Structure 1
Amino acid sequence: MDDEQQRKLRAIVADLAREGNTAELTGFLEHGVPVDERDEAGNSLLMLAAYHGRTETVALLLARGADPDLRNDRDQAPLAGALFKGEDEIVRLLVDAGANPDLGTPTARQTAAMFGRTL
């Protein structure tokens, strides 16, 4: 696969994660797309799904071994993103999967404090 095809594939799977199209994303994963694939800004599929409140997609990615601490190019972690967006169920899934609340900028702990939430 050449660079342009790889770029298009990354964009497609990123959109699927962002939109919560879990069934179609599963097909791509079953055909070899890495569970920790990233978009052009370094956002993992998990980060995109978590930030956009896609609980089912987050659960799928975690079950397939997605790294809950994989940060994007801006040093943001999925846990902090889910806290920022008020996605409590996703926060629970990420914490249960071992997400480290002390990683990223800001950290999940700092994000929780900013919004009066606890981890």
Structure 2
Amino acid sequence: MPKDVLRSVLAALVLLFIAPVQAQQGVGNININGQLVLAARAGLVQRVKQLIAEGAEVNSRDRNGDSPLKMAAGKANVELVDVLLAASADVQQANIAGVTPLMAAAFAGSPEIVRKLLAAGARPEAVDRVKKNAAVYAAGQGCTECLELLLQAGTPVNGRLDHELTLLMWTAGYGQEGAARMLLQRGADASLRDDRGKTAAEIARELNYTALAQMLAP
């Protein structure tokens, strides 16, 4: 057999044996991180602890970009959030839609997690891909305590969001009387109008939230 042919055969044999080993190592790394994501999604606190101890990347993400911390916050799993924060999870890591753990906690109506994330450095001014911040999620869900915390963290009560909407208008759009009352007490301006020229009261009235519309009438 010519030497050049022999060398080609030997090279092919080496690749044949090495490639599966490299692939197996890669799959192993993917698997432990994938297991962490699955465990976090299922809320398995002890399993998450174990996988992190074994070297799983705490900021691993699923195909939607959701991290374990975002999943835990979205399910109001305080114990799991504590474990992930202790492992230095990125509090600002957003998913593909731009939703951060803080937004997820606000949507879940969990002031305890909102407080923990803010203390860990989560930024309340961050917005997702449709220009909503954590306070908008809290306003829409009527989580008054979440809103209080976000206002204390620097969210302006009359801040203008996409389409010139205010937090008060978001509460009006979802019929959240308690949250609207708290915002008014904190200085929300009911006379402001969105880019359609509508006030919070008019938004509430159009959606048949009659009592809320009367409360919001400037």
TM-score, reference length from structure 2:
0.50
Q: CA deviation at 1:104?
A: 2.8
Q: Does 1:111 align with 2:137?
A: yes
Detail structure 1 runs of 4+ shifted over 4 Å in the superposition. Answer: 4-8
Higher mean C-alpha deviation, range 101-110 or range 91-100: 101-110
Q: How does 1:84-95 map to 2 (within 5 A)?
A: 84-95=107-118
Structure 2 portions without partners, runs of 5+: 1-24, 151-218
Q: Distance in 1 between matches of 2:35 and 2:127?
A: 26
Gapped regions of structure 1 (runs ≥ 5):
none
**Structure 1 position 82 matched with structure 2 position 108:** no
Calculate the aligned-residue CA RMSD, in Å.
1.7
Residues 18-60 of structure 1, C-alpha deviation per residue, up to 9 Å, x if partnerless?
2221111111101111111111111111001111121111011
Whichever residue aligns with residue 115 of structure 1, its letter is: Q
Sequence identity (%)? 33
Is the partner of 1:109 in helix, strand or coil? helix
CA distance in 2, matches of 1:94, 1:101: 10
- Whichever structure has more helix as a proportion of its residues is 2
Q: Distance in 1 between matches of 2:63 and 2:32?
A: 11
Number of aligned pairs?
118
Shift of 1:7: 4.9
Q: Does 1 or 2 have the higher relative contact order (CA < 8 Å, sep 6+)?
A: 1
TM-score in terms of structure 1 length: 0.87
Q: 1:87 to 1:99 in 2, by over 3 A?
A: same
Do the aligned residues in 2 keep the contact of 1:19 with 1:52 (CA within 8 Å)?
A: no
Q: Which amino acid aligns with 1:103?
A: A
